[in-house]
Structure 1
């Protein structure tokens, strides 16, 4: 089996893996591009001398300055948390496409408000704008992964949902380097720090333009009784005729899932909550999804994203231009790692194994970084050979983390729930992400001030603990149809669940095709080579 191969749940026409599903996934992933850009640009922008001068940071006490910086950064995550909650009723009543549209409009409004801030007006417009922009991306973080998972063929679902993470890293790469660019090419002025704020409007505008080509989720349409429109959209996405055997099979599985859902009380607004609180299996998966984001943030990656100047200062990097350049390289490592993850690893290695490998490599690297800082608490503003080695292991930690933990929790959360609770589950996942990110961004600077090298040991220990969590509790979900996730989580031990359910799916597919008079080879899962 080649590195670009993947295991299918049933024989699949090549036309199913077409440009349309990739285009729809790419447009929806512009929401993550907005998030990634913010995570990269805000911490470096507020460290620019021009920004500090504009808002008179020199007159503030160190403790007050730390509080202001943390508030500017973390208020965005607070807005995102509530945005993820607001997305649930919007997606339920108006659909995935309308939810994405509203998210884009709210984000653009917030980004525009930030551009009105200056020294005379104070930071009020930045605060208000970041709350609104956060609400927009919070809605998008809820809606985009679930939309992509619902349109994706099972064999490339991880790759398509992974485009959401790729958008995040592309936005981050631009955010890191835009600050370096303005610092190097523009004099210290209002324009210097305002340009990074204005660049936010580019992914937001592209996202709104791209929504013109986005079609509503067939699964959502079928769940609302809009069958003709749902079938039309599904056939368009798959590039197949309505009577093709693949379409018949997919619709059969969706109908079966909806029949079970309606048989339990329909798709009323509060039904998913009733199901979740009355079914321990669903609550267990909600717990798993939330904890995956806890461990993700436990890697320290968001502390580094939002406060990279503080992090590199700990390692002996000084000077604004050197600081920003080193931060830009950090963005390059993350983007390259994400490309490797989305093109090869997520479908080849799988979700479960990736998480354990990434946690082990990242933990070891962080222990080494922490040991260096513990042994060299003060660098005196000079880069030492030991500091260079520490930076290498810092980048190595990022190289392990990015193609593993950075996007995989989003993929697992987007695919491990059946349709009757999927919207609620994605809301829970998005809220969990923003809750843990808010806590990290709100207290990171205080942690570095109070704990020193202990911060690195803290994150390294969490990564180590996450290995045991994944091994004993998280089953492999790649290639499993969304409608069969309940069955996947019934198998124990979890390390054997994937192989057992794939065998069951193959047997069911053979029976269904025999009923239709369509022959296929018996006894093996179809493996198909496809170019990306």
Structure 2
């Protein structure tokens, strides 16, 4: 039952990403829905960018300065539940607003809610065992693609019925209330993060949570002891989000650089442009909003497939290898995706179905590669490399580099595509080369390493071992114990 509970808890948390993906494609879809364009007063490129900005800025500010403290003070679950409830309110405001001002306000409220649900990947990593942590956190990427697909399918259905009028886009918005409502309530029926419970000295609750999340074959007591020792060391030797510690501790500084870089280039690699403005790119190639939305749906299905690969293989192939080769392949696919329409002429691609087909094919290959690499692996690395005492804060800071990248591209891409057309693909291809170089030289492999031992990998102190020495505990456990199991897995 323990493994089932772990997957149920992870899926509920992962659904928080489903409505992030849903909104991303909702925004992309409404751009080509005429009743929405009329309702909003035919916004220009700058206004479209601002619509994304007014959603992203509150997310960035609150996710860095407010949400981590709620997570640490009251728990991961309350942050997810609160954020989900706010998103329900935002969806209702956008769906039922009588004027464009209400839609803008709904976007701002939506950004507020999104800031709090970023507790979810941290919760998933803290609940998972080290051997399947990649698989568990990888659910986060699958649910994003699932949400994007659901949004696009609803958009296709709505736009095929012209009699709906404004409800072509209002229907897309109001459907967004369903999943957040489920999460807001359902998250209270699964255990809180065992590591958060230990940090708050709720040791009996933490042990009970671990038992609910583990199978009979897992050494719950051994894992529980390691968590307690690591947290005890942190309380005696560190402080909660000490700015000095971040900048003085070379190990943490290294990790923060890696996490911020990975999250920024998760968007700058080309992913954000096609997720938020894919319908515009496809519409320019096919001159049909219906076909554009259908191609967006195909892109989402492919992205789900790529994310599923991450679930199956990421704990075997490792994070570093997935990120390096992912960047190389994405670079190649983007070059080809841009070269073909540039070769036939952007103005001629509408009449050249073969060229348009090649564009779609290589964008899909890009997303098959993105899913297990710069999609899932970025979140896995971000949530597993920081120590407990600063995890919520530094995951909050680094993950918001995705929104910073999204914010920049939301402002830049409409103008970039208007000026460069399909040559924009070459810009993103260049970023992917840079990404591969940074991963190769700065990212160690993190698979099969427990969260409590991650410090050693980055040149820090082994907090578990140091605290056991201080407490006079036996360091070498009998054969078959939790410690031996960790060593055998790491050597495999």
Shift of 1:175: 1.1
CA contact (8 A) 2:28 2:276 kept: yes
Structure 1 segments of 4+ aligned residues over 4 angstroms from their partners: 518-524
CA contact (8 A) 1:333 1:398 kept: yes
Match status 1:111 vs 2:91:
yes
Cα distance change on mapping 1:224 and 1:392 into 2, 3 Å:
same
Shift of 1:355: 0.9
Q: In the alignment, which of 234, 238, 252 is matched to residue 225 of structure 2?
A: 252
Could you say which residue in structure 1 is the equivalent of 2:314?
346
Match status 1:29 vs 2:14:
yes
Distance in 1, matches of 2:102 and 2:149, equals: 26
Q: In the alignment, which of 437, 444, 454 is matched to residue 475 of structure 1?
A: 444
Please give the secondary structure, in 2, of the residue aligned with 1:407.
Answer: helix
Distance in 2, matches of 1:79 and 1:149, equals: 25
Cα distance change on mapping 1:201 and 1:429 into 2, 3 Å:
same
Could you say which residue in structure 2 is the equivalent of 1:47?
32
Could you say which residue in structure 2 is the equivalent of 1:69?
48
Cα distance change on mapping 1:514 and 1:465 into 2, 3 Å:
same
Cα distance change on mapping 1:520 and 1:454 into 2, 3 Å:
closer
Shift of 1:335: 1.1
Distance in 2, matches of 1:212 and 1:245, equals: 24
Could you say which residue in structure 1 is the equivalent of 2:61?
82
Could you say which residue in structure 2 is the equivalent of 1:167?
143
Cα distance change on mapping 1:27 and 1:514 into 2, 3 Å:
same
Distance in 2, matches of 1:100 and 1:233, equals: 18
Distance in 1, matches of 2:72 and 2:280, equals: 42
Match status 1:220 vs 2:188:
no
Distance in 2, matches of 1:366 and 1:347, equals: 27
Shift of 1:385: 2.1
Could you say which residue in structure 2 is the equivalent of 1:183?
159
Please, what is the CA RMSD of the aligned residues?
Answer: 2.5
Could you say which residue in structure 1 is the equivalent of 2:272?
302
Match status 1:153 vs 2:129:
yes
CA contact (8 A) 1:83 1:138 kept: yes
CA contact (8 A) 2:81 2:187 kept: yes
Distance in 1, matches of 2:155 and 2:433, equals: 34
Cα distance change on mapping 1:207 and 1:355 into 2, 3 Å:
same
Cα distance change on mapping 1:158 and 1:522 into 2, 3 Å:
closer
Q: Which whole-Å deviations, capped at 9, do the CAs of 1:465-495 have from their partners, x for residues lacking one?
A: 111111111111111000111101129xxxx
CA contact (8 A) 2:127 2:213 kept: yes
Cα distance change on mapping 1:217 and 1:519 into 2, 3 Å:
closer
CA contact (8 A) 1:317 1:383 kept: no
Distance in 2, matches of 1:364 and 1:527, equals: 34
Match runs of 1:344-383 below 5 Å: 344-375=312-343, 376-379=345-348, 381-383=350-352
Match runs of 1:377-416 below 5 Å: 377-379=346-348, 381-416=350-385
Cα distance change on mapping 1:180 and 1:157 into 2, 3 Å:
same
Match status 1:134 vs 2:111:
yes
Q: In the alignment, which of 447, 454, 457 is matched to residue 426 of structure 2?
A: 457
Please give the secondary structure, in 2, of the residue aligned with 1:74.
Answer: helix
Shift of 1:265: 4.6
CA contact (8 A) 2:335 2:429 kept: yes
Cα distance change on mapping 1:522 and 1:144 into 2, 3 Å:
closer
Distance in 1, matches of 2:486 and 2:120, equals: 37
CA contact (8 A) 1:107 1:132 kept: yes
Distance in 2, matches of 1:488 and 1:306, equals: 36
Distance in 1, matches of 2:488 and 2:188, equals: 42
Q: Which whole-Å deviations, capped at 9, do the CAs of 1:89-147 have from their partners, x for residues lacking one?
A: 101211111111211121112112112323xx2x1111111111112112212x11111
Please give the secondary structure, in 2, of the residue aligned with 1:198.
Answer: helix
Shift of 1:50: 1.7
Could you say which residue in structure 2 is the equivalent of 1:286?
256
Q: Which whole-Å deviations, capped at 9, do the CAs of 1:160-186 have from their partners, x for residues lacking one?
A: 111111111110110111111111135
Distance in 2, matches of 1:296 and 1:520, equals: 36
Q: Which whole-Å deviations, capped at 9, do the CAs of 1:245-298 have from their partners, x for residues lacking one?
A: 8122112211221122111255x4xx4433212212211210110000122212
- Residues paired across the two proteins, number: 478
Unpaired segments ≥5 residues, structure 1 = 1-14, 58-63, 492-507
Distance in 2, matches of 1:112 and 1:139, equals: 18
Distance in 2, matches of 1:42 and 1:111, equals: 12
Distance in 2, matches of 1:519 and 1:279, equals: 27
Could you say which residue in structure 1 is the equivalent of 2:477?
512
Please give the secondary structure, in 1, of the residue aligned with 2:329.
Answer: helix
Q: Which whole-Å deviations, capped at 9, do the CAs of 1:217-259 have from their partners, x for residues lacking one?
A: 111111111212222222222255xxx9812211221122112
Mean Cα deviation higher: 92-101 or 68-77: 68-77
Distance in 2, matches of 1:227 and 1:523, equals: 26
Shift of 1:208: 1.5
Unpaired segments ≥5 residues, structure 2 = 461-472
Cα distance change on mapping 1:380 and 1:349 into 2, 3 Å:
closer
Q: Which whole-Å deviations, capped at 9, do the CAs of 1:32-69 have from their partners, x for residues lacking one?
A: 01100011111212320121233342xxxxxx521222
Distance in 2, matches of 1:153 and 1:108, equals: 32
CA contact (8 A) 1:138 1:430 kept: no
